[in-house]
A and B are shown apart, each in its own frame.
Chain A
Amino acid sequence: MDTFKIADKTFTSRLIVGTGKYSSPSVMVKAHEASGAEIITVAVRRVNISDRTKESLLDFIDTAKYFLLPNTAGCYTADEAVRTARLGREAGLSNWVKLEVIGDEKTLFPDNEALLDATRALVREGFVVLPYTSDDPIVCRKLEDAGAAAIMPLGAPIGSGLGIQNVNNLRIIREFARVPLIVDAGVGTASDASLAMELGADGVLMNTAIACAQDPVAMAEAMKLAVRAGRLAHLAGRIPRKMYANASSPVEGLVGR
């Protein structure tokens, strides 16, 4: 069994999915089901005090079946992220956090300096920290040294669907990472997820690519298969790239020669 371990938890699925941007809760539920994911990320937000009629996200998610991973999406400082992580821990059932400290509204790129500060602070408080980071090998190494339970470099900007922009950086990160490497953000379609896994990522995290697809449920299944295919290809070991052809059929015994 090809399992996947983060901190003290073992998972079978290497696909982690989000809960944002779905057209309806029922589509989200079906997409989660089709994705085969075991870990689902959720955001922490103020309760709407004036309108209590809205249903809660937790009305739709079977927490006995899925492991909820609160995120700190939308936080722009280490302090905000730490506060949000603490709130997420109390609202949920675990001390895990998908740590995001955003540096810029347009790119949603991480503020790596603040991210490192928040990672150190939360590790000290006993959190299992999964930081969303740039695809910078040095930053990833520092996060690992700071006690991150996994490193989650972006493939491309959040929600951009551009696919993996810096394949070589991911290769370098893969080479030295001792904690799980999860490509987080930037996936647009199934082949992007496969590529991440072929490069040796331990998992892929995505939201928009599924939630905003024309058919989110079908895309969720495509992503499940793509992650599995990429993982198998990685384990199988690909052939080297060559400049010229190398015939697959025997060159002897051809008719008419």
Chain B
Amino acid sequence: MQITLNGDRREIAGPLATMTVAELLAQLEIDGRRVAVELNLVVLKRDAFGSTFVREGDSVEIVNFVGGGEENFKLRTEN
């Protein structure tokens, strides 16, 4: 399925409409304890990663802490 991941369209291998956020993170080799996830502009609680499904066309933002910092960075507000 195709999702928008951190602003880029991306093909995700996996069962259609039955992939959880936790499974997505595992596929991307991202440690879920160190990140925050926003799904279609809604920030998820970490304990909901295992019960929240990612669907075709969803917009997913995965963020973590970095040194900061006043870089010129923007979360994209458009979908």
Interface residues of A (CB under 8 A from B): 18-22, 28, 41-47, 49, 52, 56-58, 68, 70-71, 73-77, 79-80, 83-84, 86-92, 100, 102, 105, 108, 158-159, 207
Contact = CB atoms under 8 A, between A and B. Distances in A.
Contacts of A20: 67-71
A45 B70 contact: no
A108 B69 CA distance: 12
A160 to B, nearest CB: 11
Given A83-B75, A87-B61, 20 more contacts: A18-B67, A19-B66, A20-B67, A20-B69, A44-B64, A44-B65, A47-B6, A49-B5, A49-B8, A49-B10, A52-B28, A57-B66, A73-B73, A74-B74, A76-B74, A79-B77, A83-B41, A87-B43, A88-B65, A91-B34
A105 B10 CA distance: 30
B26 interface: no
A83 B61 CA distance: 11
Given A74-B72, A83-B75, A105-B72, A56 B64 contact: yes
B72 to A, nearest CB: 6
Nearest to A18: B68
Contacts of B6: 46-47, 49
B77 A80 contact: yes
Interface of B: 5-8, 10, 28-31, 34-38, 41, 43-46, 61-75, 77
Interface hub of A77, A79, A90 (most chain B Cβ within 10 A): A90
B66 A45 contact: yes
Contacts of A76: 74
A207 B28 CA distance: 32
A67 to B, nearest CB: 13
Contacts of B34: 56, 58, 91
A91 B67 contact: no
Nearest to A208: B70
Contacts of B37: 90
Contacts of B28: 49, 52
A42 B65 contact: yes
A100 B63 CA distance: 18
A52 B29 contact: yes
Given A57-B65, A79-B77, A52 B43 contact: no
A90 B30 contact: no
A43 B66 CA distance: 5
Nearest to A20: B69
Given A44-B63, A90-B36, A73 B46 contact: no
